[in-house]
Structure 1
Amino acid sequence: MARAPDNAVKWTTLVVLATVGTALTVATNPGFVMKISQEGLDYACQQGMAVLQKKLENIKLPDFSGNFKIKLLGKGNYNFYSLKVLNFQLPSPRLRLQPDVGLQLSISNANMAVSGKWNAKKSFLKAGGNFVLRAEGISLFANLKLGSDPASGHITAACSSCKDYINRVTLRVSNSKWGGLIRLFQKRIDSLIQKTLQNKICKILTNTVNTNLQQYIRTLPVTSKIDKVADIDYSLVAPPEVTADSLTLKMKGEFFRQANRSSPPFDPPVMAIPPVHDRMVYLGISDYFFNTAGLAYQQAGVFKWILTNSTLPKRSKFHLTTGFLGQFLPQVSQMFPDMNVRLVFSVSSPPHLVMEPTGLAFTPHLEAQAFAVLPDSSLASLFLLGMSMNAHLAVGVNSDRLVGNLTVDTLRLKLRHSNVGSFPVELLQDAMNYIVTLVAVPKVNERLKKGFPLPVTNRIQLSNLVLRSYQNFLLLGANVRLG
């Protein structure tokens, strides 16, 4: 996913730990679910406050002036200028879930310091110098409404209301023997500054959410690129769901071919995610997610491997030659003496993964086509084997990527076609077991080891992982940190 500026990343973390891109069609059920707990929002709030604090410290306060009146002496005037915020402390921010609405941000006991210059004049009396103003007991309450854009599938965030309050303001002046004049109109100054600050704080927060954050969300890509064949669609298929315990994002979670996208001939299953809250974020990954991957790669013809005698390990006890096969099938060496053999493995149908509480069952169906390599390098078909297997797929997480490892339990052979006469496939069982385990499976695991990207923004790292299998889906729980 595209790398965002630090502030944009942190502000996105404030609203959701990861945001997603564009939806193409609406599915009945999601293939991928992200659930963010209150603990996750607490961490997001800490990151977001760092951004808000910087913005508040860059508030541009206008110069202001006015008149004052002194008994017996009459009226005078004052002027405050070159105002600059020295610091803005946000010690107690809280981000809370609002069921069916979104999030509520509250800040209490905040304080700020402002420096600047001042002068005052009454006839022959003139005063001026520097000042430092401290505003204390600042409170802020804002509601963040979450939704989704039906046309694009982006998450939407808007500051629907904002209210702030300043408890007290203290003004101290320096560099003037007539600084006592300030006391004559200090209450009026305090009131003006307090009103100015209150308007500015909510205005900055609202603009940051409604404009800056929303603009950044719209720049996020719709998909995660995997390789030259397929991408993953992580778009929203429904508005965010907010309960008293968590914020849930429902995503398409679908692999698709870049060259020719089409809808899978199966639908996502229902994922009954249990109420767990001891991690910051939970990812529900349905078998639909994995099975669309198998479909996309099978349709693209990626699941195809060619083995020759030269590609086998040097220590191999089997050899791909007609002479070696002739030990099991004499007719092969008789019809094609002293020739090399080429084995072409391919997936005859999309691999299908079933998730159950007891684990993940994987039932790929392969074909093995054997050819004799003739002296002119042309190929003569020997036989075609159907291969069905029971396998297990172990799934894990490496940083921000989903990885796997395939283990084959049993391999069953069936003779589909033969140009060398009928023969019992059991004669080739040991050879196929060896070749599939030693050569084919490692090639699959090499790809699975590279992994597939999870829908988290750049620089977010997952830790303290827990992975459990349920009916139709895996549940990954993790804590997060911004690296």
Structure 2
Amino acid sequence: MAWRPDNVRKWSTLALLAIIGTALTAATNPGFVAVISQKGLDFACQQGVAVLKKELQGISIPDFSGEILKTKHLGRGYYNFYSMAVEGFQIPSPQIKLMPSDSLQLSINDASIKISGKWKSRKNFLKGSGKFGLSIQGVSVSADLKLGTDSSGHITATCPTCIGHVNNIRVQVSGGMLGWLIQLFHKKIETSLKSAIYKKICKIVSSSVSSNLQPYLRTLPMIARVDDVAVIDYSLLAPLKITAEFLEGQLKGQFFWREQQHPFPIAPPSMSFSPSHDHMVSLGISNYFFSTAGFVYQESGALRITLRNQMLPKDARFRLNTEFFGTFLPKVAMKFPSMEVQLVMSASLPPHVSIQPSGLSLDPAMETQAFAVLPNSSLVPLFLLGMKTNASLEVDAKGNKLVGELKLDKLMLKLKNSNIGSFQVELLEAVINYLMPTTVLPKINERLHRGFPLPLPAGVHLNNVMFHSYENFLVLEADVYET
């Protein structure tokens, strides 16, 4: 089978890292594995720093005042810097590095800040005022982003340590007769401002994690609603695995019926694959993920469709009534003259998806129950057919969902029960093989095209998607973008 790729939100890419963070204790193989490459980290860093830059540009710098010490010739003086505002903040080389623990390290080097404001000074009876500009060079920040979980199992992110440094700061003063006096003591002023600035920067970094990233992480559902029938359990199974190149997280990856959750008679297989360096994320999806979906939809009765005469196309080669069935089943027409026939098609067993290097396949076990519809709308069972076929499943990813399309081979029929006597089921093969692709399969694929949510943060979608299938699991490789 050929696989075909068809300002809180900025923090969501960092949340994509955190969703595969630390967690509970491992007891079984995961049904879903999420891996972030360094390329993904680099993208997340750029997006996260864009938010941080916006936060820093809005930094509130308190007024700064001091005393010009008395000298023999100049005497004592006072100055005040106020109405300070950041005009520009350049961050040329941000990085997020993997640490040999449960954290990431954000590093910013050689950043620069430009600040403007007003000044005023007083010496004896003389007063002066004007404007000033601060040029801050060589700003560096090293902050740890620690990932964890709270008592409810939600992902947490904190910034326990932040170290800032400023290489140099220059003050340029203009206006006023006492501006020269402030310039004379610029070393003292610059040293004091340098200390205030880098402490403020680390405070903004820590605050941005707690006020932007952490609230967003709490919106990440461990349980993803699919539809009125099913949800997917994406809760974490094991602590975060960190290597020199990747972040890897193990998720449960299991469908269950919204009304109840029962153990499944199957276990997730082991998954081992080499993540892609060329894509931002790699998602390992086991056949357990697909098979639990089959169990849920079959047990809930969702894999059942009732075919009535009015559902057939107007140009159909036959009608669902006793007159048509009477052409090869005379007893039906004789016993139930001029009545409609209903066919109820359903999965008799939960469909099991098999994943091989050649692609995804399944051998669905289905059955069709035929009823005669009496004038009072009650149903009289006529016969029950077993149906077997080979099927293939093509998968793709669109936006933040996994989508699919089912393809069926010719159906083979077997008479399982009859209330009208024995008959040759081959007589019905043409009917069933016409109804399945024209009426039933489009409804199945309509549901598959709507897709199933992947464990991605809100606003994050996949593109440049590629699939690779292996024994019992498949790997989705992709880049991410934000909307």
Give the structure-2-normalised TM-score: 0.92
Query: Which residue of structure 2 lines up, in the alignment, with residue 386 of structure 1?
Result: 386
Tell me the SS of whatever aligns to 1:393: strand
The answer as to 2:451 corresponding to 1:470 is: no
**Which has the larger displacement, 89-98 or 263-272?**
263-272
Distance in 1 between the 2:419 and 2:81 partners?
A: 99
Residues 20, 244 of structure 1: alpha-carbon distance in 2 compared, 3 angstrom cutoff: closer
Q: How does 1:40-439 map to 2 (within 5 A)?
A: 40-69=40-69, 70-149=71-150, 151-439=151-439
Distance in 2 (alpha carbons) for counterparts of 1:177 and 1:333: 113
Look up the equivalent residue of 1:162 and give its one-letter code: C
Three-state SS of the structure 1 residue aligned to 2:94 is: strand
Distance across 2 between alignment mates of 1:182 and 1:245: 51
Corresponding residue for residue 454 of structure 2: 454
Deviation track 1:375-404 (CA, whole Å, cap 9, x = no partner) reads 333222111112222111111122222111
Tell me how large the CA RMSD over aligned residues is.
Answer: 2.3
CA distance in 1, matches of 2:18, 2:200: 29
Write the letter of the residue equivalent to 1:416. Answer: K
d(CA) in 2 for partners of 1:99, 1:407: 46
Q: CA deviation at 1:235?
A: 2.4
1 CA distance for matches of 2:192 and 2:262? 63
Distance 1:23 1:433 in 2: 49
State the AA in 1 paired with 2:422: S
Give yes or no for contact 2:386–2:414 (8 Å, CA) kept in 1: yes
Structure 2 gap ranges (5+): 1-6
Aligned equivalents of 2:25, 2:109: Cα separation in 1: 43
C-alpha distance in structure 1 between counterparts of 2:248 and 2:114, whole Å: 39
Question: Share of identical aligned residues, percent?
Answer: 51
| Shift in CA distance, 37/341, structure 1 to aligned 2, threshold 3 Å | same
- Is contact 1:297–1:303 with CA below 8 Å preserved after alignment? yes
Is contact 2:102–2:240 with CA below 8 Å preserved after alignment?
Answer: no
Once the two structures are overlaid, the 10-residue window that deviates more, 380-389 or 217-226, is: 217-226
Q: Quote the Cα distance in structure 1 between the aligned partners of 2:264 and 2:392.
A: 23
Q: Which amino acid aligns with 1:94?
A: Q
The answer to whether the Cα contact below 8 Å between 2:15 and 2:217 also exists between their aligned partners in 1 is no
Give the SS at the match of 1:16: helix
Matched pairs, number: 476
- Quote how far apart the aligned CAs of 1:318 are: 3.4
Q: Which letter does structure 2 place at the counterpart of 1:92?
A: S
What is the rounded CA distance, in whole Å, between the counterparts of 2:8 and 2:293 in structure 1?
31
Separation (CA, whole Å) in 1 of partners of 2:272 and 2:298? 29
The change in CA–CA distance for 1:211 and 1:467 in structure 2 (over 3 A counts) is same
1:444 matches 2:444: yes
Q: TM-score when scaled to structure 1?
A: 0.92
Counterparts in 2 of 1:231 and 1:26: CA distance versus 1, 3 Å: farther
> Are the aligned partners of 1:391 and 1:410 in contact in 2 as well (CA < 8 Å)?
no
State the secondary structure of the residue aligned to 1:160.
coil
Deviation track 1:385-442 (CA, whole Å, cap 9, x = no partner) reads 1222211111112222211111112422222111111223233222222222222212
**Mapped partners of 1:23, 1:184: distance in 2:** 58
Q: Which runs of 5+ in 1 are unaligned?
A: 1-6
Bigger drift between 131-140 and 433-442 goes to 433-442
8 Å Cα contact 2:18-2:157 kept in structure 1: no
